[in-house]
Amino acid sequence: MKIAVIGTGYVGLTTALLFAEFGHDVLAVDVDEEKVNTINKGESPIYEPGADELLKKHIGKNLRATTSYDIEDRDIVFICVGTPSKPDGSMETKYLESASEAIGEKLRKGMIVVVKSTVVPGTTENLVLPILERKSGLKAGEFGLAMNPEFLREGLAIYDTFHPDRIVIGEFDKRTGDILEELYRPLEAPILRTSIKVAEMIKYASNAFLATKISFANEIANICERLGIDVYEVMKGVGMDHRISPHFLNAGAGFGGSCFPKDVKALISLAKNLGYEPHLLEDVLKINDYQPRHLVELAEAHYGDLKGAKVAVLGLSFKPDTDDIRETRAAIIVEELLKRGAEVIGYDPKAMANFRKLFPSIKYASGADEAVKNADIVIIQADWEEFKNMNFDAYPNLKLVVDGRRTVKPERVKYVTIGRGD
């Protein structure tokens, strides 16, 4: 098949690599010339394990990137552009609109358009479809239309794309559903065919549920703290119930990233527009905002006044194995530390350049050792493998380790973590 992927972020790039690996002819379109050039050199524009290898294998053969919408000969076009949050939490649709317009101009009978971007329920039918019809002069049905959400995790994007728990196909027309089902068959994953709106909601409900699980674990953690018992022991017992499962019950600094915070905010905004007050989802975000602040409170409670204290913040990305700092809890931790007059030294194996754009005036260390060497306090925000192997006891100046991810176990240095009542 001839496939086009519009947008080369995490979703677009991995979708392009998946179908290239299946032997299809894939064209990746992005307005960002720098990204396109990087991809055509066989280098991934994002840090994602496995992406470079697959790119090198296919680029210049059955995969190429371009800035122009040369999609006339394509059978299927996947829209994978970003749908970030607007300041009020609602979904920004401008990239989706411009992509739909550009596709509409090239649309011909029989071509299939698939929305893979995360979009609030109703968006594909009420926004994308009318633009495609208006620009092409065709009626939906003459061209195919579907909504096909992704569930990949950053850092594991390639693995998740090739090993999905399920493929959800929200179809406007049966022919489109049949073709997509065939396209995904080599993955041997369960396929669920639904209406477009149901597919859109499955994505939001899944992310909102996982975010709720994390905030639930954090709420229990904050109660456990007051009882002087360990939330990790509690959640171990809770997660053994097969109806609950042990995943996403790790209490700590809270969730960040490009999906959970944005999608929960967009769902809240949608619910309110529909006249419903989503109390649970609002509290999920409130707890998530509190957790990184609580880490700083713990540092203060166990060290004393933070004014002038040298604090190394380890892990600036929102989680390990990515350079992505979107909604990272590290930003809140650093803000709180600066408010208290602490001297912050940041370190991250991959995300330092990105974090520097947010906080240009804090200090940055070139390695974890350099960050910890001069620090009074270490706060761990993301559990990179590198930190797990560090011997914090070997630093004579270090007085306190505050662990936001339950990742290290120093013996000499005082150790404090969320959800134990230290």
Nearer of residues 144 and 256 to ligand UDX, judged by Cβ: 256
Alpha-helix runs per DSSP H in 228-308: 231-239, 260-273, 279-303
* Cβ count within 10 A of residue 159: 15
SS3 207: helix
Q: Does 151 bind ligand UDX (CB under 6 A)?
A: yes
Nearer of residues 92 and 173 to ligand UDX, judged by Cβ: 92
Nearer of residues 152 and 201 to ligand UDX, judged by Cβ: 152
127 token code pair: 């926004």
SS3 192: strand
CA atoms within 13 A on the CB side of 346: 31
Q: Does 248 bind ligand UDX (CB under 6 A)?
A: yes
Q: Tell me which of 8, 15, 250, 269 binds ligand UDX, using CB under 6 A.
A: 250
Q: Does 256 bind ligand UDX (CB under 6 A)?
A: yes
Nearer of residues 11 and 309 to ligand UDX, judged by Cβ: 11
How many residues belong to the site for ligand UDX (CB under 6 A)?
20
Query: CA 178 to CA 189: how far, in whole Å?
Result: 15
CB of 170 to ligand UDX, least distance (A): 16
Q: Looking at 41-49, 249-257, 296-304, 366-374, which segment touches ligand UDX (CB under 6 A)?
A: 249-257
Query: CA 27 to CA 406: how far, in whole Å?
Result: 43
CB of 260 to ligand UDX, least distance (A): 5
Q: How many residues does the chain have?
A: 422
Nearer of residues 138 and 191 to ligand UDX, judged by Cβ: 191
Q: Does 318 bind ligand UDX (CB under 6 A)?
A: yes
For 89: left if phi > 0, alpha if psi spans -120 to 50, otherwise beta; the answer is left
Whether 80 sits among the annotated catalytic residues: the reply is no
Q: Which of 168, 210, 259, 333 is catalytic?
A: 259
Dihedral of alpha carbons 361, 366, 372, 375, sign: negative
Tally DSSP H helices, then E strands, for the chain: 16, 14
Q: Tell me which of 58, 74, 294, 319 binds ligand UDX, using CB under 6 A.
A: 319
CB of 69 to ligand UDX, least distance (A): 26
**Rounded alpha-carbon distances, angstroms, from residue 375 to 146, 311, 348:** 53, 5, 15
Q: Tell me which of 17, 119, 199, 259 binds ligand UDX, using CB under 6 A.
A: 259
Q: Tell me which of 81, 113, 214, 221 binds ligand UDX, using CB under 6 A.
A: 214
Crossing angle of helices 260-273 and 196-227, in 10° steps, is: 110
Binding site for ligand UDX (CB under 6 A): 150-154, 207, 210, 214, 248-250, 252, 254-257, 259-260, 318-319
Residues belonging to the active site: 259
